[in-house]
Homo-oligomer: A and B are copies of this chain.
Amino acid sequence: MAVTIRDVAREARVSVASVSRALNGHASVTEQTRGRIADVAARLRYVPHSAARSLITRRTQTIGALLPDLYGEFFSELIRGIDLAARARGLHLLVSSSHGNANEAAAALRSMQGRVDGMLILSPHVDAAFLRANLPDSLPAVLLNSAAKNAQYPVLNIDNYGGACAMVRHLLDAGHTGVAFIAGPAGNFDAQQRDKGYRAAMAEHAPKMPLNVVDGDFSEEAGYLAGRKLLAQKPRPRAVFAANDMMAVGCLHAFKEAGVRVPEDIALAGFDDIPIARYVAPPLSTVRVRIVDLGRSALERLASTLEKPDQAQALSVQTLSCEIVVRGTCGTKSNEIKARKKIGDQSIQ
């Protein structure tokens, strides 16, 4: 049988109320009785029953993370950031990943109800209507990497736009006139923002150059096909910016296969800085996202909402800066100079 607050009270010859107050650090307990109670509790290895406590305090000290079916580095780094920040605040982390559609996401969300004090939500299936239908108004939440606008929740985004701008500008600054862009999937939020960044940077820094956008879908295969298409263009582009690293890797294969030298004949850059990026030859220039920081910031944001529930949170969209990582594929030969050009971190609205 587990030891309860009554056992501690009996041993310490006080009431359960005093045990509760002593252990929860209330001021109104003599230092002497507090000490006696603490000793007994330690000796008995007393651990308060969390369900009983939650029932009365209406707090679980747990936050939930809803994630899509995510593979690889991004997922683990995000969880790591959230976990780190959660532990620092004494919060527990309940995760639910791997839901492929809106129904599964909704079920996961509902099943967490009552088990968490707040939610961190990253899902392509989530929009304002979804949240209205599946998230009680009383449950605080922070949205990650979401296109959801004027929702009633704070949003934390990656600065895809700024990162893309910076990379395009870097390519132009390096003297590559004419930068082509391999786009991501049409419906994808990240892809759209990166596309916008490409167009904006071109408009600002190379207004006379024509835009050159080739379709893609974030897959290596799409990158390979896009690479072949670009090689067939005349004049051949001098630089290519792929909307993500996997496509850049595929594109690189196409270039190598055709005997086109990178970066001498064509410069190339990607986005994400996946682990593979530095292992292809030459190492891939790319835009890095600080995913751990994304997770950490999201949790901090949520936690501060929990601590002052009445205080209306600024329902802002916050963006987290990216940094461009210059490696071998884009001309500047210095090996992996991390040109930490801070962009974003500005709060929109």
Contact = CB atoms under 8 A, between A and B. Distances in A.
Interface in A65-84: 70-73, 75-77, 79-80, 83-84
Contacts of A115: 50, 62, 92
A334 to B, nearest CB: 19
Contacts of A92: 94, 96, 111-112, 115
Contacts of A52: 51, 55
User: Interface range on chain A: under 10, 10 to 19, 20 to 34, or 35 or more?
Assistant: 35 or more
A281 interface: yes
Contacts of A177: none
A113 B51 CA distance: 11
Contact of A70 (B50, B76, B136, B138): B76
Interface stretch (A28-36, A162-170, A229-237, A272-280): A272-280
A120 to B, nearest CB: 13
Number of copies: 2
B51 A80 contact: no
Contact of A98 (B49, B54, B80, B113): B80
Given A72-B275, A275-B72, A94 B62 contact: yes
Nearest to A54: B51
Contact of A47 (B72, B75, B80, B113): B113
A110 interface: yes
Which 9 A-B pairs give the minimum distances between C-beta atoms? A51-B54, A76-B76, A51-B55, A51-B51, A75-B76, A50-B114, A276-B279, A47-B113, A50-B115
9 contacts: A51-B51, A55-B55, A71-B77, A72-B76, A80-B97, A83-B98, A90-B111, A94-B94, A94-B95
